[in-house]
Amino acid sequence: MKRWIAVLICASAFCQGILASGPAAAAAKDAKGKPASKSEASKSKDQKSVTHGTVTIDGKRIAYTATAGTIVLKNADGKPTGSLFYVAYVKDGVRDPSSRPVTFLYNGGPGSSSVWLLMGGFGPERVISGDAHHTPPAPFDVVNNQYSLLDVSDLVFVDAMGTGFSRIIDKAHGGVGEPKDFYGVDADGKAFDRFVYDYLSRNDRWNSPKYLLGESYGTTRSAVLANDLENDGIQLNGVMLLSSILTFETASFNTGNDLPYELYLPSYAAVACYHKVVKCPTDLSGYLGGVQAFASGEYASALMQGDRLSAARRADVIAKLAQFTGLKPDYLDKANLRVSLPQFMAELQRNRGLVTGRLDGRYSGAAADELAEFAQSDPQSDAITGAYTAAFNRYVRQTLKFGRDRHYVILSYAVNRAWDWKHQLGSGFGWPGATNVAPDLANAMRTDPHLRVEIENGYYDLATPYYATEYTVDHMGLPPNLRSHIQLEFYRCGHMLYEHMPSLAELRTHLVHFYERTDRENAGG
């Protein structure tokens, strides 16, 4: 159970690292957030390797310059504290590059590198992995990425500190950095703020339209970062949130907190439909609308009553929960109407000897213990991690010509374990609770009334459920004119939207329209 506590709080792509097997798991154990050897030690000077390539998008061949490198961050005294690794793709042949959009992209974790977005989503090359099936072993196929966003924006993929090639520069390596300078909600936001400032300055991009694109905990980072940047006078054109989680109370299955049980129910229902544990209509979104109405109405009211709930009403609620989830009424009764995520993963397909995926509920894997109350692994993580690990390690060294003598940390449990989750914005009345950065994003939108936000979630995502995102957006306290600046889109996929090809194609279409819309709106069109 302790293992699952760590998994539940991170609610992000990094959680693969906690449950992964193979090279990624070994990397997680070895990474301490500091250089493992002198050959890996981050130097106090920026480093970079510049290469060139092409990508074909919508039938058009685009030439680009790729820069793989590091930017050294310094404290107020000018002393180095850490070195952040990035890969930037800039379209060639642009007369005035400073006027072209630039997007900063990153994954979550908080101990995850950004290899997933780069090699799976929007970089010029992508690795082929098994959609809802375990990817066969090497050799892996890496292909031209027709879904890259390089035709509409230059792209800068950034690895959080302690992941990828990003390293703290401590006293032993000529700096003054410490884990507390980076491993926390606020410290991480400040580090990315400094990186964006330095990148804009060193590449003459101050006049470029600026965007943030984060996935999972990367959406948490984006909310904090957007507010920090706006407070520093760096105006953003748009923020894109993939598999969003801003209010962690929505995913914290703590005793006495009934909110996640209500907000997870529609995702439970969607996954039960996918695995044909229950019979569902073809109109999934319409069906889930009915589940949402039950979750926020009759179910929420029943949970609110607690032990005062009458036997007759309890039986009625159990019957409806069984209808939506496919779980047996007796199991739901013993669970006191409250089934946590790891319990659902273990129970949904127990009679098939299978455990259900967390990051993507479409995945299934053999249960390690068919009597276990809680799922012990995530089949989705097991299915794709090897492909991404091999593909990027080869790509960064052979194609980008960087890091041949360094260790690339795909995932770091050490970073997540050291993370300071304390964060406060606003009045701060009451006691500390679950991390909530929704007020940061709301504040950024109030500071800049032109700021637009695009949010994308998958119906089968059991890490950051889509209904929790809707709930969070509806509780940001924004006036109608600013609330209308947030657009939500939903897909028939899991946490990593780009793992499902139809969803990736749809996602690209939505994001391209977002770039076009924000450019037009900000130009007064």
| Domain extent listing, the chain | 2-249+385-522, 258-378
* Bigger pLDDT: 39 vs 311: 311
pLDDT digits (tens, 9 = 90+) for 268-325: 999 999 999 999 999 999 999 999 999 999 999 999 999 999 999 999 999 999 999 9
pLDDT given at position 427: 57
Mean pLDDT of 156-177: 95
Whether 239 contacts 438, CB under 8 Å = no
Residue spans of beta strands (DSSP E) within 386-511: 452-458, 486-491
**pLDDT band with cut points at 50, 70 and 90 for residue 132:** confident
Q: What is the DSSP string of 464-498?
A: S-HHHHHHHHTTS---HHHHTTEEEEEESS-SSGG
Q: Which two tokens stand for residue 445?
A: 């939108």
**pLDDT band with cut points at 50, 70 and 90 for residue 428:** low
- SS3 state of residue 249: helix
pLDDT digits (tens, 9 = 90+) for 3-27: 333 333 343 333 433 333 333 333 3
Distance CA 435, CA 420 (A): 10
Place of tokens 């260790």: 407
pLDDT given at position 189: 97
Distance CA 466, CA 442 (A): 19
User: Nearest to residue 352, comparing CAs of 366, 339, 368, 369?
Assistant: 366
pLDDT given at position 426: 61
**pLDDT band with cut points at 50, 70 and 90 for residue 523:** low
Whether 149 contacts 56, CB under 8 Å = no
Q: Which residues contact 301 (CB under 8 A, 6 or more apart)?
A: none
Mean pLDDT of 384-391: 94
Q: What are phi and psi of 264, to 5 degrees?
A: -85, -20
pLDDT given at position 229: 97
pLDDT given at position 429: 66
Q: Which two tokens stand for residue 74?
A: 């310094």
Q: Which of 11-25, 253-267, 326-340 has the lowest mean pLDDT?
A: 11-25
Give me the CATH topology for the region 2-249+385-522.
Rossmann fold (3.40.50)
User: Nearest to residue 199, comparing CAs of 49, 69, 44, 78?
Assistant: 69
Give the DSSP H/E element, type plus range, for residue 7.
helix 2-10
**With 80 as the cut, is the pLDDT of residue 493 above it?**
yes
Give the DSSP H/E element, type plus range, for residue 8.
helix 2-10
Q: Which residues contact 254 (CB under 8 A, 6 or more apart)?
A: none
Residue spans of beta strands (DSSP E) within 250-400: 354-356, 364-366
Q: Which two tokens stand for residue 140?
A: 């892996």
Mean pLDDT of 155-171: 97
Residue spans of beta strands (DSSP E) within 220-370: 238-242, 354-356, 364-366
**pLDDT band with cut points at 50, 70 and 90 for residue 130:** confident
pLDDT given at position 120: 96
Q: What is the DSSP string of 85-116?
A: EEEEEEETT-S-GGGS-EEEEE--TTTB-SHH
pLDDT digits (tens, 9 = 90+) for 416-426: 999 999 998 76
Give alpha helix (H) positions in 145-216. Answer: 185-202
Q: Which residues contact 196 (CB under 8 A, 6 or more apart)?
A: 104, 210, 225, 229, 234
pLDDT given at position 32: 47
Q: Which two tokens stand for residue 386?
A: 């090897």
pLDDT given at position 433: 82
pLDDT given at position 41: 45
Q: Which two tokens stand for residue 78?
A: 């000018």
pLDDT given at position 424: 81
**pLDDT band with cut points at 50, 70 and 90 for residue 399:** very high
Whether 486 contacts 499, CB under 8 Å = no
pLDDT digits (tens, 9 = 90+) for 85-103: 999 999 999 999 888 999 9
Cβ atoms within 10 A of the Cβ of 520, count?
10
Whether 145 contacts 55, CB under 8 Å = yes
The radius of gyration of the chain's CA atoms, rounded to the nearest angstrom, is 22
Mean pLDDT of 328-334: 98
Cβ atoms within 10 A of the Cβ of 501, count?
12
Q: Which of 9-18, 162-171, 225-234, 492-501 has the lowest mean pLDDT?
A: 9-18
Distance CA 233, CA 454 (A): 22
pLDDT given at position 474: 97
pLDDT digits (tens, 9 = 90+) for 169-204: 999 989 999 999 999 999 999 999 999 999 999 999
User: Nearest to residue 246, comparing CAs of 211, 214, 285, 275?
Assistant: 214
Average pLDDT, the chain: 90
* Bigger pLDDT: 429 vs 365: 365
